[in-house]
Amino acid sequence: MGSCWKQIAKDYLWAQVGEPCGKSSSYAREMDAIHFYNYPKDGAANSCALFYDNALLHSCTEPSYDDDPEGAKWTALSALYEPQSEGANDCAGCAQKIRQFKKYGAWYEDTQDFCELDEIFFGSPDYVSDINPLGAYHTGAIVAWGYIEELGKDGFTYIDGNSYYQGESGMVGYHYVAYDDPKIIGAGRPNWDGWLPDEKKPDDIKPEPTPEPEPVVEKYEVCVDDDSWLNVRSGAGKSYPAIWKLYNGDVVPIFEIEDGWGRIDDYGWVCMEYMKKV
């Protein structure tokens, strides 16, 4: 499944921005309809953690949620370190999810170790308890990182459910957070292969093979002022968020060119006005 599955999740997350996602939502009702959790969640719990799980559910490829919701459920649960044998379905809440990520060695507290599509968690001493030792209170999905003009510094772009967006609460929104923001307590990384090492795979569910890397088309050099940089964006256009940056003299491969923008890897795009063929 690998990067293809992650790209589906990323596309799904962006498509949900602006949709209602409060304590009661279509996302919770979808999860309840296939008994994803150990008890119904619609109207019973805040849905930020549930929204992330819903994105994983919709990104399953074999089987897909549209073709086989029940089969996709078990793939998504395993990606969240919730094998069927445990039966606890801890992935519905922030503190419970952190416990599972830690148990399977998929928890990171240094922001330098965070990756795209990791589940980022926010915490506060006000929420610390015996069952929530890190004081986790909110979560979202990292979709980009790098210099953020709105913050004036490097940080993450994340998409979250049950958030405040464009003047309304209980929505799916996208937000920014600086790398050094003290609210960040860590990030969990799903098992994107979809199965735990000690779990038997059903015969009728086979992971999608990892695609072969694309051949390099041409190499280009970045041409900007020495004291400036070139933003690498998540899509072909200035409207897409910057996810990292390149500097004058950097040489990168260009895999394809679209409307004056060049793709340098699976996700990153640069404006070709500032690129010179090597």
- For residues 181 and 236, membership in a common domain is answered with no
Nearest to 1 by CA among 194, 243, 236: 194
- For residues 154 and 79, membership in a common domain is answered with yes
Q: Which domain holds residue 226?
A: 218-277
- Does the pLDDT at position 202 exceed 50? no
Task: Write down the pLDDT at residue 211.
Answer: 53
- For residues 145 and 224, membership in a common domain is answered with no
- For residues 181 and 240, membership in a common domain is answered with no
Count the residues in the chain: 278
For the ranges 16-25, 70-79, 210-219, the lowest mean pLDDT is seen at: 210-219
Nearest to 60 by CA among 50, 69, 51: 69
* Mean pLDDT to the nearest integer, 96-102: 90
* Mean pLDDT to the nearest integer, 39-67: 87
Instruction: Provide CB contacts within 8 A for 110, sequence distance 6+.
Output: none
- For residues 121 and 49, membership in a common domain is answered with yes
- For residues 107 and 233, membership in a common domain is answered with no
Residue 54 CA to its chain's centroid (Å): 12
What residues are paired with 220 via a beta bridge? 252, 277
pLDDT tens-digit map of 123-152 = 999 989 888 899 999 999 999 999 999 999
- Does the pLDDT at position 84 exceed 80? no
| Cα–Cα distance measured from residue 175 to residue 270, given in angstroms and rounded to the nearest whole number | 22
What's at 128, amino acid-wise?
V
What residues are paired with 159 via a beta bridge? 141, 174
Instruction: Provide CB contacts within 8 A for 203, sequence distance 6+.
Output: none
Number of domain units in the chain: 2
Residue 261 is part of a domain; what is its CATH number?
2.30.30.40
Cα 26–Cα 47–Cα 121 angle in degrees, nearest 5: 140
| Cα–Cα distance measured from residue 70 to residue 271, given in angstroms and rounded to the nearest whole number | 43
| Cα–Cα distance measured from residue 27 to residue 3, given in angstroms and rounded to the nearest whole number | 24
Is residue 259 a part of any domain in this protein?
A: yes
